[in-house]
Copies of this chain bind each other. A is one copy, B any other.
Amino acid sequence: MSGPLSDTRMPRLNSYHLPPGLWPGPESPHARLEGPEARHLLGVLRAKPGDTLRLFDGQGRFGLFTLASAIGKDRADLLAQSLDSEPRPTSGLVLALGWNKSSRRDWVLEKAVELDALGLLFWAAARSQGEPPPVVKDSWREKCVQAAKQCGSAWLPELGIVAGGVEGLVRVAAEPGIGYDGGYAGLYMLDEAAPLDSVDALPDPLRLATGKNLVVIGPEGGLERREAERLARAGFQALSLGPRPLRWETAALYCLGLAHFAARTREHSRT
């Protein structure tokens, strides 16, 4: 590893995650990387004092750092070269995903980072297999961190567990959400029973990409009627992704892709 401009072998600098609480403040350029991230830097990449790396905190902050010194194999003292930040995104999707005992959960976590999801909530639906754990697992956050290292995103989606089935979702819909001013711009649910010939059931990508929008996706097997009816009474608009049932993770990525595309389209219309 060497300076970012001098190394043509490496298309991007290696990124490391430094939790927000350990980020250097304005008073000092020093930071310390510990644990697995430090072991990767020192043991796998065999970084040497003077090498440059990129750090990010998953809350918008990132920067270039110089390795000042290594203490053993799992502690690296770093010096900030340049610090930058991206503002918290104000538009995009929070997906509320019906719990599945699915090997594809990791995959959805990864794609949520790649496609700029604002958040992922897991909830126990009537047709869920099993129950989500009471709190978010560290392994889920770790999956998001790994995805952000790969794609270079400065923000990690917020992860959460919603207790209480659809009643819990109705409560969430009324909450502004951590770190966000104001409530949801739109409330949606994917519902196989939504009328296919109604334009109201067709997702509007620009609306999905305007403000913070909550999209409920049932587990494999979909929402039960009474769940969809309860959500409809609470103001959730039923959307359909077409005549054939899509799998859980396909539906999730489909929605994220539409919102991502619409956000880019809007950027273009501004320039």
Contacts and interface: CB of A to CB of B under 8 A. Distances in A.
Interface in A138-189: 150-153
A150 B264 contact: no
A257 B247 contact: no
A250 B202 contact: no
A244 interface: yes
A114 B250 contact: yes
B114 A261 contact: no
Q: Assign chain A's interface to a size class.
A: 20 to 34
A199 interface: yes
A250 B111 contact: yes
A3 interface: no
A191 to B, nearest CB: 14
A212 interface: no
A260 interface: yes
Interface in A99-157: 107, 110-111, 114-115, 150-153
A21 to B, nearest CB: 26
Interface of A: 11, 107, 110-111, 114-115, 150-153, 197, 199, 202-203, 205, 221, 241-242, 244-247, 250, 253-254, 257-258, 260-261, 264-265, 268, 271
30 contacts: A107-B107, A110-B247, A114-B244, A114-B246, A114-B247, A114-B250, A115-B250, A115-B254, A151-B244, A151-B245, A151-B246, A152-B244, A152-B245, A153-B244, A199-B268, A202-B264, A202-B265, A202-B268, A203-B261, A241-B260, A242-B260, A242-B264, A253-B253, A253-B254, A254-B257, A254-B260, A254-B261, A257-B257, A257-B258, A258-B261
- 5 closest cross-chain pairs (CB), A and B: A257-B257, A254-B257, A151-B244, A114-B250, A152-B244
